[in-house]
Amino acid sequence: MTDASMSDTSAGLSATDKVAAGLAKRRRKQTILQGLGLSAIGFAILMLFILVASLVSTGYKAFTQTHVTVEVYLDPEEISVERLPRGGFSDVLAASMLKIFPDVEGRAQIRSLTSILSNGAQFQLRDMVVRDNDLIGQTITIKVPASDPFDQLKKGLVDRETPEELRRVNNQQIAWFDALAERGEISEPLNWGLITNADSRFPELAGLKGALVGSFWALLVCFLIAFPIGIGAAIYLEEFAKRNRVSDLIEVNINNLAAVPSVVFGLLALAVFLGWFGMQRSAPLVGGLTLSLMTMPTIIIATRAALKAVPPSIREAALGVGASRQQVVFHHVLPLAMPGILTGTIIGLAQALGETAPLLLIGMNAFITSAPEWPTDAATALPTQIFIWADSPERGFVSRTSAAILVLLVFLVTMNGVAIYLRNKFERRW
């Protein structure tokens, strides 16, 4: 027995016992760390589940829309070819409803009855007649949206047990609606209008078409500006620029710009694009320029990281066979770094798609009832459309707000999925 072991033994604890105690302590700390990590992941998954579940539970009702089937006689005395697109379309719809409920009398009761139909029903009928004048004088069957209170009633969002004075629909209107349902005139098909319609003051007619097209134009402008400039700047800084204080200062500022709150870019765009250049408010062109300022630092950082990931041996081999510096970069390094560059670009664009604050400052939260045809037309974007609907007092916009968020999440997940696919497909391992 050595002197050391004898000393430990004399202290009442052998060296083996000390090692075993130390290992147990390390394992205990490792177990605690793993537990904390798993708890954090579990908490994040729980929050994500609660978010998605709350959105789905409130938003799924917006993907269907209550419709009323009505037989309409297009009375030539009310509608004539000479007066189109004007005409008594609301009157012929009222006459059709009175034909179903002949006992209804008086202006107030007729107005109460016809309020079952959406205000957009007359415009839907008008568009049909404008497309085909031969319909005048005929009896046609059309499906028109029910107004928001009755859409809520059909979906069970209006409690029939609530006192009548506290409901948006009275007992008589509920009786008429139930009578229509018993006749099979009420249906609840998929709400394609949520995607194909532009915004409206009436929830049953409001859709995301204008916001989707506006977001498309804004992202296209953002991509066309941020992608080439961002990649060019990253290539110069990483491959050609000399390392000195100026390049270090530029690098620090680029990293800082990536962390600047997006509302600051909105203020910058408000001052420069709208204030100095006098560009049109609410235009996707201005939105795209603003988002490109915000996205460019992200693209530069991602591109530089992708360029750094290319092994130096690629550059040395190309230089060794006589390639110029430019040929090395554009023929060998850049193609190998392109998966990482595309991944960073798509993630940057996905971040830009969800930004609201800079677009609010340049007026892309205006009420626009048609989709933009060009980037210079006034428009909204998906996040600002969600903001508008969330701020609307009508109850029908509650479910549409959740549905719009789900649509936005689908686009974001799709873009991230494309980024992962490109990275996995073209990634090279050395």
Question: What is the tens place of the pLDDT at every residue in 80-90?
Answer: 888 778 888 88
How is 100-127 classified by DSSP, letter by letter? Answer: H-TT--SHHHHHHHHTTB-TTHHHHHHH
Residue 9: pLDDT over 60: no
Fill in the amino acid letter for 149: P
pLDDT at 140 over 60: yes
Query: 184 with 221, same domain?
Result: no
Does 299 share its domain with 265? Answer: yes
Reduced to 3 states, what is the DSSP secondary structure of residue 67? strand
- Are residues 232 and 363 located together in one domain of the fold? yes
pLDDT-based confidence at residue 132 (cuts at 50, 70, 90): confident
Q: 4: pLDDT confidence band, cut at 50, 70 and 90?
A: very low
Q: What total of structural domains would you count in the chain?
A: 2
Q: Which of 190, 225, 260 is the last residue of a domain?
A: 190
Residue whose structure tokens are 């949520």: 194
At 323, list the tokens: 């390639």
The residue out of 190, 219, 249 marking a domain boundary is 190
The model's pTM: 0.83
Q: Tell whether 176 and 239 lie within a shared domain.
A: no
**213 in a domain, yes or no?**
yes
Domain assignment of residue 17, yes or no: no
| Structure token digits, residue 117 | 């139909």
Residue 43 domain-assigned?
Answer: no
Give the whole-angstrom CA distance, residue 402 versus residue 389. Answer: 9
Show the beta-strand stretches assigned E in 176-303. Answer: 186-187
List the domain range (segments joined by +) for residue 309: 208-426
Residue-wise pLDDT tens digits, 186-223: 999 999 989 998 888 889 999 999 999 999 999 999 99
Cis ω for the linkage preceding 393 (within 30 of 0): no
> Residue type at 394?
E
**Percent over 70 (pLDDT), the chain:** 96
22-29: Cβ within 8 A, 24+ apart: none
pLDDT digit string, tens, across residues 369-397:
888 999 999 999 999 999 999 988 888 89
Residue 4 placed within a domain = no
Angle between helices 89-100 and 121-131 (to 10 degrees): 110
Do 224 and 283 sit in the same domain of this protein?
yes
Q: What is the pLDDT of residue 75?
A: 85
Together in a domain, 212 and 125: no
Do 183 and 230 belong together in one domain? no
Q: How confident is the model at residue 1 (pLDDT cuts 50, 70, 90)?
A: very low
The separation between CA 185 and the C-alpha centre of its own chain, rounded to angstroms, equals 34
